[in-house]
């Protein structure tokens, strides 16, 4: 059960409308966090996707106004030899406590994607993971953990543009590692494992939500709106998105710290293709 969530209204928003919608949604997210704290809930939000898909920036967007002591950011990095052979124990320790939201910038699903593609796990470890992950998640849910699994999807061309932008950036060049450049060459293999992951690890009680991440700004709003739509919380006041049109002619974009304003919609679309921020 793969859910593709596409908030089409967001495709035409300008900077002013974006800021307004961002504020509205962040207010609602804070209400959700307060409900999590008050009722000792455990909310685990997973961000998966290819490199440059916008996972880290989405976390920053989500957490901007949240109460710091009641959320955690998890990016475990390279596993030790022991962690590699005790995969679920590695991830069990970062599951949110009562009254907490945990944001996972990559998750246990690294073993379904990057690890087999790059040869970081054995075939046996991969098969074992794919057989055990859903029963493991089901047990977490039974214990009271609410799990939301986002997959940020982007096109091959868009990833190449972002990689190139990072490589040339005097501020972000360090984000591009030799490993990142290697995995880009394995696009088709990654796609194969991604499709197998969707097919085998997306039951109705723990589905994957696919977000179009070709524009990071739209992806962030879309993912946040999905959470607010899906998850119950007290005092919910989630207004419908405003209707934007191509007639708006004051779009704005920032590229390498330089702001371009008074853009037409078509100019805005072209410029943002080359931005690593959007």
Give residue-wise pLDDT tens across range 5-38: 777 778 777 778 888 899 999 999 999 999 999 9
210 beta partners = 4, 151
- Give 120-150 pLDDT, tens digit per residue: 999 999 999 999 999 999 999 999 999 999 9
In the prediction, which pLDDT does 14 show? 78
In the prediction, which pLDDT does 246 show? 44
In the prediction, which pLDDT does 270 show? 65
Per-position b or e across 93-108, b if 16+ CB within 10 A of its CB: ebbbeebbbbbbbbbb
**Residue-range domain boundaries for the chain:** 3-241
Mean pLDDT within 190-210: 95
In the prediction, which pLDDT does 182 show? 74
Q: For 98-102, 187-191, 236-240, which range has the lowest pLDDT when averaged over its residues?
A: 236-240
165, containing H or E segment? helix 156-168
Mean pLDDT within 74-98: 95
Q: For 10-19, 40-49, 258-267, which range has the lowest pLDDT when averaged over its residues?
A: 258-267
Task: Please indicate whether residue 240 or residue 66 has the higher confidence score (pLDDT).
Answer: 66
In the prediction, which pLDDT does 208 show? 95
Per-position b or e across 254-269, b if 16+ CB within 10 A of its CB: eeeeeeeeebebeebe
In the prediction, which pLDDT does 271 show? 63
In the prediction, which pLDDT does 245 show? 45
| CATH code assigned to 3-241 | 3.40.50.300
CA 250 vs CA 19, 20, 41, 220, 277: distances in Å: 14, 15, 42, 21, 19
């Amino acid at each position: 059960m793969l859910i593709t969530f596409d908030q089409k209204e967001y495709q035409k928003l300008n900077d002013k409308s974006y800021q307004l919608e961002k504020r509205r949604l962040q207010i609602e997210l804070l209400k959700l966090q307060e409900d999590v704290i008050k009722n000792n809930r455990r909310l685990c939000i997973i961000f998966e996707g290819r490199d440059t898909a916008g996972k880290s920036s989405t976390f920053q967007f989500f957490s901007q106004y949240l109460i710091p002591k009641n959320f955690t950011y998890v990016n475990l990095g390279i596993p030790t030899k022991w962690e590699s052979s005790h995969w679920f124990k590695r991830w069990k320790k970062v599951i949110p406590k009562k009254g907490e939201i945990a944001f996972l910038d990559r998750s246990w699903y690294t073993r379904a994607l990057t690890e087999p593609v790059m040869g970081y796990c054995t075939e046996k470890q991969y098969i074992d993971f794919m057989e055990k992950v859903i029963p493991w998640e089901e047990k977490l849910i039974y214990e009271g953990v609410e799990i939301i699994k986002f997959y940020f999807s982007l096109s091959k061309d868009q990833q190449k543009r972002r990689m190139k932008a990072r490589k040339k950036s005097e501020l972000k060049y360090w984000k591009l590692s030799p490993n990142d450049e290697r995995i880009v060459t394995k696009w088709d293999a990654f796609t194969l494992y991604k499709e197998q992951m969707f097919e085998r690890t997306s039951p109705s009680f723990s589905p994957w939500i696919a977000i179009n991440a070709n524009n990071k700004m739209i992806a962030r709003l879309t993912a946040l709106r999905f959470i607010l739509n899906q998850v119950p919380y007290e005092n919910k006041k989630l207004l419908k998105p405003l209707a934007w049109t191509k007639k708006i002619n004051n779009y704005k974009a920032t590229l390498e710290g330089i702001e371009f304003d008074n853009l037409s919609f078509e100019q805005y679309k072209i410029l943002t293709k080359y931005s690593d921020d959007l």
